[in-house]
Amino acid sequence: MPPRRRQPAPPAARNEAAQLADRLQQAGYTKRDIARIIDRDPSLVSQFYTKNKGAAFVTALREVLTAVETGGITDLPELAAIAARHTQRRTTASGARARVRGKAVLITPTGSGTGRVGAQAIASGSARLRPLIAEAARRGLRLAFTVRLAKTAYVHPSGSRTDSPGIRRDVIQRADHTEERSYGSAQTGGFDAADFARRVNAAGGDVTAAVHRWLVETGRIHSDAHILHLEIRTWRPR
């Protein structure tokens, strides 16, 4: 017997966070947009409806809604900045800041850091990679990334010198007809993390979209291609 899925509460029984999220959706924002605004995973926004969560974000959502309805502000990064000023981290019984589940952004003193995401995270914009890129940009680090797509999604054949790997050791071909290609390395100098951080911000915080756009703009993949796996690596330039 398949597991029973938790049903959203009816509109009249929804908590204030869900009601505010409803009004933002009526204004044209998706649950994914709302998650970016409050800097949380989209699954949390869904839990406003199914698990009665979101009380900690009510003030932030009110201020964001006011900015949208009366201030005419529509830019996601600007709305996120407004929400951040009104979002407080939970505290423990002793008054200390509560720990948040999830992986911290870990970059070593040498600048070495790695973040990977799969299909589910990619579909929601690879949000967990954004802090890694932002921190790398703050530290003035270099950046490289590996993507996996269907073989037919690439414009150039593997090993092509027109594509940045240029040599087959930077290409991994898999049995499921997908292929991994790496772009940038310590040997080639990689990319400026600050430039990629700007690209991510221009994409509304969507790391997947920013990487996809770069690959299309530079003629490496077809515009209708879908990224299946994404890895970001950082290091300190010599």
The answer to whether 107 touches 135, Cβ cutoff 8 Å, is yes
Domain that holds residue 31: 11-84
Q: Report the distance separating Cα 222 and Cα 229, nearest Å.
A: 16
Residue 98 has what pLDDT? Answer: 52
Average pLDDT over residues 217-224: 94
Q: Which SS3 state, helix, strand or coil, does residue 231 take?
A: strand
Burial of 109 (0-12, 13-18, 19+ CB in 10 A): exposed
Q: Does some domain include residue 93?
A: no
Are the CB atoms for 21 and 50 separated by under 8 Å? no
> Nearest 5 degrees, angle CA 43-CA 35-CA 22?
90
215 with 138, same domain: the answer is yes
For residue 57, give the H/E element and its range.
none
pLDDT, the chain, mean: 83
Q: Is residue 108 part of a domain?
A: no
Residue 157, both tokens: 């054949």
Contact by Cβ (8 Å): 136, 106 = no
> Are residues 118 and 198 located together in one domain of the fold?
yes
Query: Is residue 195 situated within a structural domain?
Result: yes
Residues 75 and 130 in one domain: no
Arithmetic mean of pLDDT, 76-80: 84
What is the arithmetic mean of pLDDT over 47-56?
A: 90
Asked if residue 187 is part of any domain, the answer here is: yes
One domain for residues 121 and 221: yes
Query: What amino acid is encoded at 44 in this protein?
Result: L
Dihedral over alpha carbons 200, 202, 206, 208 (to 10 degrees): -60
Mean pLDDT value across residues 184-209: 90
Q: Which two tokens stand for residue 76?
A: 């996601």
Nearest partner of 103 among 91, 115, 112, judged by Cα: 115
> How many domains is the chain partitioned into structurally?
2
3-state secondary structure of 150: strand
Residue with the larger pLDDT of the pair 76 and 228: 228
Other CB atoms closer than 10 Å to residue 96's CB: what's the count? 8
Tell me: do 80 and 134 sit in the same domain. Answer: no
Report d(CA 40, CA 115) in Å as an integer: 17
Q: Are 179 and 229 in contact (CB under 8 A)?
A: no
pLDDT winner (highest mean) among 10-14, 17-21, 72-76: 17-21
Using the predicted structure, report yes or no on whether residue 235 has a pLDDT greater than 50.
yes
Please name which of 215, 238, 235 lies closest in space to residue 225, comparing C-alpha atoms: 215
Evaluate whether 221 touches 145 at the Cβ level (below 8 Å).
Answer: no
Q: ∠ CA(122), CA(127), CA(133), 5° rounding?
A: 110
Reported confidence tier of residue 101, pLDDT bands at 50, 70, 90: very low
Q: Are 91 and 195 in contact (CB under 8 A)?
A: no
Q: Supply the pLDDT for residue 34.
A: 92
- My answer on whether 133 and 229 are in the same domain is yes
